[in-house]
Chains A and B, each alone.
Chain A
Amino acid sequence: AQTVTQSQPEMSVQEAETVTLSCTYDTSESDYYLFWYKQPPSRQMILVIRQEAYKQQNATENRFSVNFQKAAKSFSLKISDSQLGDAAMYFCAYISGAGSYQLTFGKGTKLSVIP
Chain B
Amino acid sequence: DSGVTQTPKHLITATGQRVTLRCSPRSGDLSVYWYQQSLDQGLQFLIQYYNGEERAKGNILERFSAQQFPDLHSELNLSSLELGDSALYFCASSASGRAFDEQFFGPGTRLTVL
Q: Quick check: A101 and B42 within 8 Å, CB to CB? A: no
Interfacial chain A residues near B31, Cβ < 8 Å:
101
Q: Quick check: B42 and A108 within 8 Å, CB to CB? A: yes
Interfacial chain B residues near A47, Cβ < 8 Å:
102-104
Residues of B within 8 A of A (CB): 2, 31, 33, 35, 42-45, 48, 55-56, 58, 88, 90, 92, 97-100, 102-105, 107-108
The residue on A at minimum CB distance from B103 is: A103
Interface of A is mostly: loop
Q: Quick check: A101 and B43 within 8 Å, CB to CB? A: no
Ordered nearest first, which 8 A-B pairs have the shortest CB separation?
A45-B105, A102-B45, A105-B43, A100-B56, A97-B99, A95-B99, A107-B42, A102-B58
Instruction: Answer yes or no: A64 CB below 8 A from chain B CBs.
Output: no
Q: Quick check: B92 and A101 within 8 Å, CB to CB? A: no
Distance to closest chain B CB from A85 (angstroms): 16
Q: Quick check: A44 and B45 within 8 Å, CB to CB? A: no
Distance to closest chain B CB from A5 (angstroms): 11
- Considering residues A52, A91, A96, A101, which has the most beta carbons from chain B within 10 angstroms of its beta carbon? A101
Instruction: Answer yes or no: A74 CB below 8 A from chain B CBs.
Output: no
Other-chain contact of B92, A32, A33, A45, A107 (Cβ < 8 Å): A45
Other-chain contact of B100, A33, A44, A100, A106 (Cβ < 8 Å): A33
